[in-house]
């Protein structure tokens, strides 16, 4: 094993060895950019202690910050980093208290049904939709990616799920869902699909949480997508 890789792995393990840093990561996995002040309040820590934890995570390049006026806003470094973090959750799922504002049974169920995975949909709904899209040949697996077929382009446009997109290739990454242990659609395709669903009010993003709430309109449309059988005209 490469010595440099071993050193990186040790640094990563050290960075994720503190529960406060794990909480920071899970909060940022909502896809939001959060200030150090907001995170300090969430963690109930002093600003100095919060900055210490943020620097540890920046040093191993899990997060980065953007300056906006006098404030710094922190976010997950990029999509690949988010997928790596989500894959570690698959092996060692974070405890409920780390990512649930109200750790009751109803909230846990909702969180497993639909949540943000950085910038795309995760949870049981996402896994079910992905499998339905595969079965209908709207997407095909190609190595670690999902490729949208011509049939898929027509379907997604028909349901206003890829609107105002002029790129001729639609590619999504195969992201493992840590609660379902199966593929869902990540990457640029996953982000576009979720953006369209949010715009159509199929889901509502809850404040200060990765959890997504399914609206009655969304539940109706999602169920229609699951039972949809595409027939060529």
pLDDT of residue 6: 60
Compute, in degrees rounded to 10, the torsion defined by CA atoms 192, 159, 126, 102.
Answer: 80
Q: pLDDT tier at 86 (50, 70, 90 boundaries)? A: confident
**Average pLDDT over the chain, rounded to an integer:** 81
Over residues 170-206, the pLDDT tens digits come to 789 888 787 777 889 998 899 999 999 999 999 998 7
Q: With bands split at pLDDT 50, 70 and 90, how would you rate the model's confidence at 163?
A: low
Position with higher pLDDT, 36 vs 108: 36
Closest to 122 in 3D by CA, of 179, 77, 63: 179
Distances (CA, A) of 107 to 97, 113, 128, 210: 11, 10, 20, 11
User: How confident is the model over 40-73, as pLDDT tens digits?
Assistant: 998 899 999 999 999 999 998 899 998 877 778 8
Task: Yes or no: say if 132 and 226 are a contact pair by the CB < 8 Å rule.
Answer: yes
Residue 92 domain flag: no
Confidence of residue 10 (pLDDT cuts 50, 70, 90): confident
Domain shared by 17 and 123, yes or no: no
Question: What is the DSSP pairing of strand 212-214 with strand 63-68?
Answer: unpaired
- Are 135 and 66 part of one and the same domain? no
- CA-CA distance, 169 to 157, in Å (whole number)? 14
Whether residues 124 and 220 fall in one domain? yes
| Domain contains 85 | no
Domain span at residue 130 reads 97-227
The total number of structural domains that make up the chain: 2
Q: Where is the domain boundary, 77, 106, 136?
A: 77
Q: Which of 104, 113, 193, 118 is nearest to 148 (CA)?
A: 193
Average the pLDDT over 89-106 and give the result: 52
* Residue 43 located in a structural domain: yes
Mean pLDDT of 79-96: 69
The answer to whether 123 and 115 are in contact (CB under 8 A) is yes
């Amino acid at each position: 094993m490469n010595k440099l890789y071993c050193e990186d792995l040790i640094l990563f393990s050290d960075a994720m060895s503190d529960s406060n840093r794990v909480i920071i990561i899970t909060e940022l996995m909502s896809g939001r950019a959060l200030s150090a002040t907001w995170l300090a309040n969430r963690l109930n820590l002093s600003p100095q202690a919060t900055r210490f934890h943020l620097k540890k995570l920046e040093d191993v390049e899990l997060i980065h910050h953007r300056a906006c006026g006098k404030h710094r806003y922190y976010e997950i470094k990029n999509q690949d980093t988010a997928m790596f973090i989500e894959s570690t959750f698959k092996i060692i799922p974070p405890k409920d208290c780390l990512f649930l504002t109200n750790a009751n049974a109803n909230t846990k169920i909702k969180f497993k049904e639909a949540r943000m995975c950085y910038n795309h949909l995760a949870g049981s709904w996402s896994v079910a939709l992905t499998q339905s899209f595969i079965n209908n040949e709207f997407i095909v697996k190609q190595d670690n990616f999902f490729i949208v077929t011509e049939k898929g382009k027509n379907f997604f446009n028909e349901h206003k799920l890829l609107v105002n997109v002029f790129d001729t290739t639609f590619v999504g990454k195969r992201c493992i869902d840590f609660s379902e242990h199966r593929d869902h659609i990540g990457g640029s395709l996953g982000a576009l699909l979720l953006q369209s669903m949010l715009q159509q009010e199929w889901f509502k993003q809850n404040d200060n949480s990765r959890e997504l709430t399914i609206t009655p309109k969304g539940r109706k449309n999602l169920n229609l997508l699951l039972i949809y059988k595409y027939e060529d005209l």
